[in-house]
Amino acid sequence: MVVLDAKIPYGPIAEKWDNHKFSVKLVNPANKRRFDVIVVGTGLAGASAAASLAELGYNVKAFTFHDSPRRAHSIAAQGGINAAKNYRNDGDSVYRLFYDTVKGGDYRSREANVYRLAQVSLNIIDQCAAQGVPFAREYGGLLANRSFGGAQVSRTFYARGQTGQQLLLGAYQALAAQVKAGKVTLYNRSDMLDVVVKDGEACGIITRDMLTGEVHAHSAHAVVLATGGYGNVYYLSTNAMACNVTAAWRAHRKGALFANPCYTQIHPTCIPVSDEFQSKLTLMSESLRNDGRIWVPRQFDDARSAAEIPESERYYYLEEKYPSFGNLVPRDVASRNAKTVVDEGRGVGPLKNGVYLDFAASIARDGVDAVRERYGNLFDMYERITGEDPYKLPMRIYPATHYTMGGLWVDYNLMTTVPGLYCLGEANFSDHGANRLGASALMQGLADGYFVLPYTIGDHLAPKLGDATVPTTDPVFSEALREVDQRTRSWTQVKGTHSVEHYHRELGKIVWEYCGMARNETGLNKALTEIPALREEFRKNVKVLGSPDGVNQQLEKVNRVDDFMEFAELKVRDALHRAESCGGHFREESQTPEGEALRDDENFAYVAAWEWQGPDTDPVLHKEDLAFENVQLTQRSYK
């Protein structure tokens, strides 16, 4: 019987983390070397955790499926990282960052976790600056800030448009130092394909060597998953091609509850799909909305080019509907409105699937050089991808899947419902509720890795002092090894007719259509019939060529798509059960008369955590009720 105990510490919100740090068990410095910890994933959360644990003295094994830890998709984050430093003297504080994050998350996150996140945000900037992360500076040499994603204060730190890259390289370099020191053993090109559990506790993992195809067992006192989000369930997203849900899903099948899988953030400013062959979507930084004006033709099915449409026939829908926030409304609101106008038949571009983001007014006001200075890199990127010059023609944008707020359920210690199994970063559910604010993903990944897990993991390890790890010869390992090997090899025996890519694309179409920006009961029920049918066809008819005993990119992908096929069903089920709208989850049945998301706090102020019951049995829903003692629940309004 699963009991969801969030282990929220006692005391007022501002004292909880301090109280907790004092009450968790400690491992004596000299004893830390007697513990082995596995960290899977080397993005911001994984690399920072592996480096910090190794610095403390633990023996760390770090795993990545990339050729180098530095390739993790954290590297692609552009905008910045929030911290409540109040360097601008503009009224920011830990409490304000906490408040904004809870409100921005549409009151579906855990207060205590969010408060801690805001607290440690201060340490993150100190840590990264000391590592040499080249943050933007003022002429006086102090750190620069910008306002981001509609925040009312300037609290975002950045390194040009490559903040994620620079923060990840900082964490990667800290990890490299520990590899050199012999405290971290790095396993690259290793795909984690299962979590091993003995007597209810996590004791290791199974990996596949992506160069030789061999499967290996690894044992440890604790296992940490920092394996990112599930955005690629949509096939097209801003995620990297290899991002997947496998590690989290395999853990889920071994007993870790999966929380809020229906929460997905759709980012409003991406380049629209141009073709059937499109492999991924590219995000254009949200900062473009500071100067660009979003519009579509008032007339439906207008075939004229943008230049031919006079001002009076342009529909600046965000400015009209939300006079005070205008083009700077939060991501979920901007995305939904773009969908509405495109669905109405006002879409622009060859496929009528975008809206204009027009810089003509700011070019006329500030001059082309000022605009180039601000957005030159982004304009170049847009031109490379679309072949259109955004200095002359308005950009075309459309929302795309970007970040996933749901993930493995974790308690305040970041431990899942499987003792000894931890989950960090985007892979867990804990801090963003139903919608994530801009520049908060990097903050959370590094908070978890640098400043939370290193304190909380001792609580699990301390009582195990002197215990050996479970030997990899134990039947739990040999059984898991056999299963993973068999599953992987079996794909080459299917000898079907369609590629893995084909099935992934088909799955994406279903999930996007029925569980994308707007969801309703009929559509979700339809998806619940279509997904299992597709999964069955996929398993019978997928075509994987080549050998399992060596490099085989199709084989790597087929395991991931197989897990997405199961995960997609849970995601849809969660979306169906949550009959309210909140944040990134918009149920058409639950909206205000003006068409805004309408929460139902009476019935849905809880975390939905799902328990796996086996492949052909419906999962069981567990609820963690969310108590709001510090932030008052209100209907968000951006009018």
Partner 1 sequence: MGSTANGKTLNLKLRIWRQDGPAAVGSFLDIDADRIPVDASFLEMLDLINERLIEDGVEPITFPHDCREGICGTCGVMINGQAHGPEKATATCQLHMRKFNDGDQIVIEPWRAAAFPVLKDLMVDRRAFDRIIEAGGYISAPTGTPQDANEIPVPKEVADTAMDAAACIGCGACVAACPNSAAQLFTAAKLAHLNVLPQGQPERWKRTEAMVETMEDFFGSCTNHGECHEACPKEISLDFIAFMNRDYIKSKTKNRSLASQ
Q: CB-wise, 105 or 349, nearer to partner 1?
A: 349
Please report whether residue 470 would count as binding partner 1 according to CB under 8 A: no
> Is the separation of the CB atoms in 257 and 408 below 8 Å?
yes
Q: CB-wise, 178 or 416, nearer to partner 1?
A: 178
Residues in the interface with partner 1 (CB under 8 A) total 84
Q: How far apart (Å, rounded) are the C-alpha atoms in residues 266 and 598?
A: 18
In the bound complex, what is the minimum distance in angstroms from residue 285's beta carbon to partner 1?
A: 12
Angle at 113 between CA 108 and CA 114, to 5 degrees: 65
Q: How far apart (Å, rounded) are the C-alpha atoms in residues 604 and 207?
A: 38
Distances (CA, A) of 18 to 15, 56, 115, 116: 5, 19, 12, 9
Please report whether residue 296 would count as binding partner 1 according to CB under 8 A: no
Q: How far apart (Å, rounded) are the C-alpha atoms in residues 600 and 548?
A: 50
In the bound complex, what is the minimum distance in angstroms from residue 269's beta carbon to partner 1?
A: 14
In the bound complex, what is the minimum distance in angstroms from residue 247's beta carbon to partner 1?
A: 16
Please report whether residue 76 would count as binding partner 1 according to CB under 8 A: yes
Residues 199-258 within binding reach of partner 1 (CB under 8 A):
211, 240-242
How many angstroms from the chain centroid is the CA of residue 65?
A: 18
Q: CB-wise, 453 or 515, nearer to partner 1?
A: 453
Residues 439-468 within binding reach of partner 1 (CB under 8 A):
450-451, 454
In the bound complex, what is the minimum distance in angstroms from residue 543's beta carbon to partner 1?
A: 6
Among 4, 8, 26, 179, binds partner 1 (CB under 8 A): 179
Q: Which residues pair with 195 in a beta bridge?
A: 205
Q: CB-wise, 313 or 389, nearer to partner 1?
A: 389
In the bound complex, what is the minimum distance in angstroms from residue 56's beta carbon to partner 1?
A: 8
Please report whether residue 44 would count as binding partner 1 according to CB under 8 A: no
Please report whether residue 121 would count as binding partner 1 according to CB under 8 A: no
Please report whether residue 113 would count as binding partner 1 according to CB under 8 A: no
Q: DSSP secondary structure string, 6-27?
A: --PPSS-GGGHHHHHHHHS---
Phi, psi of 562 (to 5 degrees): -60, -40
In the bound complex, what is the minimum distance in angstroms from residue 198's beta carbon to partner 1?
A: 31
Residue 422 in 3-state DSSP? strand
Closest of 367, 53, 355 to residue 220, by C-alpha: 53
Region near partner 1 per CB under 8 A, out of 18-26, 169-177, 532-540, 584-592: 169-177
Neighbour tally for 365: CB within 10 Å: 11
Residues 267-286 within binding reach of partner 1 (CB under 8 A):
274-280, 282-283
Please report whether residue 101 would count as binding partner 1 according to CB under 8 A: no
In the bound complex, what is the minimum distance in angstroms from residue 278's beta carbon to partner 1?
A: 7
Q: To the nearest 10°, the Cα dihedral for 65, 77, 509, 539?
A: 10
Q: Which residues pair with 157 in a beta bridge?
A: 81
Please report whether residue 370 would count as binding partner 1 according to CB under 8 A: no
Q: To the nearest 10°, the Cα dihedral for 192, 197, 201, 202?
A: -10
Closest of 439, 566, 542, 594 to residue 104, by C-alpha: 439
Please report whether residue 10 would count as binding partner 1 according to CB under 8 A: no
Neighbour tally for 467: CB within 10 Å: 11
Region near partner 1 per CB under 8 A, out of 303-311, 360-368, 549-557, 572-580: 549-557
Please report whether residue 93 would count as binding partner 1 according to CB under 8 A: no
Residues 570-629 within binding reach of partner 1 (CB under 8 A):
none
Structure tokens at 371: 């605009």
Structure tokens at 413: 């210690």
* Angle (deg, nearest 10), helices 500-515 and 553-577: 20
Length of the chain as a residue count? 639
Region near partner 1 per CB under 8 A, out of 250-258, 310-318, 384-392, 419-427: 384-392
Region near partner 1 per CB under 8 A, out of 147-155, 176-184, 293-301, 476-484: 176-184
Among 33, 160, 392, 482, binds partner 1 (CB under 8 A): 160
Please report whether residue 538 would count as binding partner 1 according to CB under 8 A: no
154 residue type, one letter: S
Among 31, 93, 123, 591, binds partner 1 (CB under 8 A): 123
Please report whether residue 30 would count as binding partner 1 according to CB under 8 A: no
Please report whether residue 159 would count as binding partner 1 according to CB under 8 A: yes
Write the CB contacts of 488 (distance below 8 Å, at least 6 apart in sequence): 193, 208, 213, 215, 548, 555, 559
Q: How far apart (Å, rounded) are the C-alpha atoms in residues 200 and 147?
A: 46
Q: CB-wise, 176 or 510, nearer to partner 1?
A: 176
Region near partner 1 per CB under 8 A, out of 249-257, 344-352, 459-467, 578-586: 344-352
Closest of 34, 90, 89 to residue 57, by C-alpha: 34
Residue 537 in 3-state DSSP? helix
> Is the separation of the CB atoms in 243 and 308 below 8 Å?
no
Please report whether residue 137 would count as binding partner 1 according to CB under 8 A: yes
Please report whether residue 543 would count as binding partner 1 according to CB under 8 A: yes
Please report whether residue 303 would count as binding partner 1 according to CB under 8 A: no
Please report whether residue 376 would count as binding partner 1 according to CB under 8 A: no
> Is the separation of the CB atoms in 95 and 619 below 8 Å?
no
Among 162, 401, 435, 581, binds partner 1 (CB under 8 A): 162
Among 385, 465, 627, 633, binds partner 1 (CB under 8 A): 385
Region near partner 1 per CB under 8 A, out of 26-34, 62-70, 285-293, 357-365: 62-70
Please report whether residue 185 would count as binding partner 1 according to CB under 8 A: no
Structure tokens at 35: 């513990």
Closest of 451, 574, 437, 469 to residue 519, by C-alpha: 574
Closest of 625, 226, 224 to residue 418, by C-alpha: 224
In the bound complex, what is the minimum distance in angstroms from residue 54's beta carbon to partner 1?
A: 10
Please report whether residue 8 would count as binding partner 1 according to CB under 8 A: no
In the bound complex, what is the minimum distance in angstroms from residue 155's beta carbon to partner 1?
A: 13
In the bound complex, what is the minimum distance in angstroms from residue 522's beta carbon to partner 1?
A: 29
Q: CB-wise, 65 or 604, nearer to partner 1?
A: 65
Residues 486-525 within binding reach of partner 1 (CB under 8 A):
499, 501-502
Does an H or E element contain 400, and which?
Answer: strand 395-404
